Amino acid sequence: MSGPVAAERSNGGGSSDLDCDPNRFGQYRRWAGLVIFLLVVFGAPALLFRPWQGTEFDQTALDELSARQPEFVFIGNSMLETRIDPEHLSELLSGRPVTSLAVPGSQSAIWYLQLKNLVAELDQPPATIFVFFRNDLITQPLAPLDERNRELIVTLKRPDEEQFEAVLEASRSAYQQALHGLDRIYPVQRQNDEALKLISDVSAAFFPSSTTELSFRADDQFAFHNMVGPDLDPPPPDPEREFEDAVGNSFLPLMIETAAASGIELVFVRVQARPNTDGTVRETDAMRRYSQDLAAYLQDNGVRYFDFTGNPAVDRGLYYDSFHIDQLYLPDYTELFLREVAEVFNSEGLSLGQDR
């Protein structure tokens, strides 16, 4: 035993650049040093970017929207941003005002606040609001990792939003509660988008083209139509919960109620994932079931619903990735959308040209 064991013992331990030099302080001072180390390392970042906590409802957003006096308002996330060009749509509608309130990465908590505290509070509310979403996001209040939008929520919220907070709390899983807790301790992580954008901006500063131009070029270079392989994506995941279980803890009923109380027509638009190479729909059975239940629910509540899933007019070649539309085709998709939901605009007395 002595040979191997002696060799084994002599092999213990290891070193690296990050090792410490032991035995310099007394026992207690060494432990106190560790406590101070932990406090500084994990405590200092918690002090960064705290000023937002005093932020209240942002009146300027309401004033700006009021000044535009939109007839049609669009709400959603990047699904909307990459599909509808409000200026182009306005031109197609003979100059009738169209406004998009798209917030990339947002979900229905933000859409509800935009509807309730911005659009519904206008002196002259719009005729119609379109809400764009994908999968089951319309019954998911906040994305699991989307606490960064919390700052936006603060600026959209009125002082007494008990109903809003109740829905949010009820919908959070233990995992989301933990993330929410982390977010409250470390508000600095909401600077994530800004930090990553800063890297792009600094990189672009070395070149004659702007960040936007270079990002646009990168998007086009790495778009779906330039990809290797015929079929890269699996279907989007199943819904988090069945529709009936999800709707009670979502903002969907509140959105319908708010729009009805303000006399605004609410229109939900579900966008489709990029179809398969053979044109078939990329969707699981559970998601299809969810969509059918959602459609029935909206019909019962007298709300219009357009599900673009399986719509043959939305060609696979329009996509940048599995959900977003390539920005080159933004005007085309806007026109396609107008054609597909013409009845909504017709009901406003609009006459669409036949040549489009």
Partner 1 sequence: MTFQTLSFVALLLAVLALYWALGRREQNLLLLVASYVFYGYVDPLLTVLLAGFTLAMYLSALWIPHPGVAVTGKFRRRAPLLLAIAATLSVLIAFKYLGFFVDSASEFVDTIGLGTFSNTLNIILPIGISFYTLQALGYVIDVHRGRVQARRNLLDFALFISFFPQLVAGPIERASRLLPQFENRRKATPELIQSGVMLLLWGFFKKLVIADNVGVIADNVFTTESPGFALLWVGVLAFGLQIFADFSGYSDIARGTARLFGINLSQNFRHPHMARSPSDFWRRWHISLSTWFRDYVYIPLGGSRKGESRTGINLMATFLISGLWHGASWNFALWGGYHGALVVIQRLLPFSPGLKMALRPLAVPVTFLLITIGWLFFRESSLSRIWDLLSVSPADQTAESVELAAFLLVQVALYSMPIWLHTAYGALKPGVLPALASGRLSSQVQQMVLGAVFFTGILVMRRSEGGEFIYFQF
Q: Does residue number 56 form part of the binding site for partner 1 (CB under 8 A)?
A: no
**Where in 30-49 is the site for partner 1 (CB under 8 A)?**
30-31, 33-34, 36-38, 40-42, 44-45, 48
Residue burial 4-38, b: 16+ Cβ < 10 Å; e: rest = eeeeeeeeeeeeeeeeeeeeeeeeeeeeeeeeeee
Residue 210 Cα distances to 126, 213, 216, angstroms: 36, 5, 10
* Nearest distance from C-beta of residue 237 to partner 1, angstroms: 13
Of the pair 214, 295, the CB lying nearest partner 1 is at 214
| DSSP-based three-state secondary structure for 104 | coil
16 is a contact residue toward partner 1 (CB under 8 A) = yes
Single-letter amino acid, residue 175: Y
Assess 188 for contact with partner 1 (CB under 8 A): yes
Report the candidate in 156, 124, 134 with the shortest Cα–Cα distance to residue 55.
156
234 forms part of the interface with partner 1 (CB under 8 A): no
- Between the CA of residue 238 and those of 38, 62, 144, what are the distances in Å? 41, 37, 15
Gyration radius (Cα) of the chain, Å: 26
67 binds partner 1 (CB under 8 A): no
Q: Which stretch binds partner 1 (CB under 8 A): 11-19, 110-118, 256-264, 300-308?
A: 11-19
Q: Which two tokens stand for residue 331?
A: 């005007």
Minimal CA–CA distance to 112: which of 147, 157, 177?
157
Q: 179 or 246: whose CB is closer to partner 1?
A: 179
The C-alpha angle 192, 194, 197, rounded to 5 degrees, equals 110
Interaction of residue 124 with partner 1, rule CB under 8 A: no
Among 13, 54, 263, 312, binds partner 1 (CB under 8 A): 13
Structure tokens at 209: 């083209």
User: Judged by CB under 8 A, does residue 317 bind partner 1?
Assistant: no
Q: Which residues are within 8 A (CB) of 288 and not within 5 positions of it... i.e. 6 or more apart?
A: none
356 near partner 1, judged by CB under 8 A: no
- Which parts of 197-226 interact with partner 1 (CB under 8 A)? 199-200, 202-204, 206-209, 214, 217-218, 221-222, 226
Residues that bind partner 1 (CB under 8 A): 1, 3-5, 7-9, 11-22, 24-25, 30-31, 33-34, 36-38, 40-42, 44-45, 48, 145, 175, 178-179, 186, 188-189, 191-192, 195-196, 199-200, 202-204, 206-209, 214, 217-218, 221-222, 226-229, 232
